[in-house]
Structure formats: C-alpha cells, structure tokens
Amino acid sequence: MYNRFMETHFLESQRLYFRKIKPDDFDIIASMLKDPQVMYAWEYNFTDKDVNDWITINLERYKTYGLGYFIISDKFLKQPLGQAALMPDIINNKLYYEIGYILKKEFWGKGYATEAAKTLLDYAKIKYPNQEYILEIRPENLNSVKVANRLGAKITGEFNKLVHGKIMKHLIYTLD
C-alpha cells in the first residue's frame, strides 16, 4: 500500500522516518500547532496563517541550511506523529545547533520525542561535527525537561526569547 507520509524520508531510526515538510502538509502541521494542549508552552493560539507561515519558514530553512523542522512518522503505524527539528540557532551571538520536537498529544509518553532527538543528535554529530548541540526548553515544559534528562543534557545557560510578542524565559540544555 502506498502511503505519502513515508515518501522521500532522509533519515530513520528504529521506529521513525524523518522527511522534509511539504507545502501540502497543512493538515498535519495544523493538527499540532492549533492544539492548545500541544502548544501550551508557547502560550499562543496558532491561526491558519501561522500554520502556512510555519510551512513557508521551514521550506526557506531547507533552502538556506538544509535543516529545519521535519515530519516524523511511525514506520509501523504509517502515520505522522509530529515534528522534530535540527537547525542552526544563534543565542547571545553564539551559534548552536538546536534540536526540538512537537508531537501530537496522543503520542506523548511513548518515547518518540527522545528517539527523534537522539536520532537528530547522532545525525548532527556526523553532518556538523564539533558544534554545540542544544535543546531550548521553557522551565514550565516538564515533558521536554524529562526528554532532556533522558538524553543526559545539562543546563548550561538561559535566555529570554520573544515569542509572539511575549518575552519567555528559556533554559539552554547542552547535549554531549
């Protein structure tokens, strides 16, 4: 059976396929970004325009860096679970490679975020060696803090980030 979610993946792990976001992925992206429970740490309700902007920004990141947010799909369920990111990030004039993830709520607590982050970290170490790899996490985002702890990440700093007009404290978790 042909499944468009499995096409053109560039990376895989034990359970996951990773592929670039496509212009027609609106419904997949919206199912996460428009879910207030999923996006609670952002303290923002995404609109259709925001979802389209998200897709456009990631398409531009791919052109510029070859990186951004990627759709992650379960190999066995054959459906998208969420997004995972690897992208350059400058914080306080310092370059990092940030790893991030946003999963649909029904897939929380199953180890997918940890597996996706670990897979992207391993990929980054090969593709972008001798860099600093981080997670940016709001202190209130306890699920992401658990993922950081499972990955052995350590808090090495903090910064304030402007997100949709709000200044939000983020912790920098450095990955080894």
Residues 48-104 have pLDDT tens digits of: 999 999 999 999 999 999 999 999 999 999 899 999 999 999 999 999 999 999 999
Q: Tell me how far apart the alpha carbons of residues 10 and 25 are, in angstroms, rounded to a whole number.
A: 17
| pLDDT band (50, 70, 90) for residue 8 | confident
For residue 49, report the phi and psi dihedrals to the nearest 5 degrees.
-60, -45
Q: Tell me how far apart the alpha carbons of residues 8 and 43 are, in angstroms, rounded to a whole number.
A: 33
| pLDDT band (50, 70, 90) for residue 142 | very high
- Domain containing residue 21: CATH number: 3.40.630.30
User: The domain containing residue 159 runs over which residues?
Assistant: 4-175
The reported pTM is: 0.93
Number of domains, the chain: 1
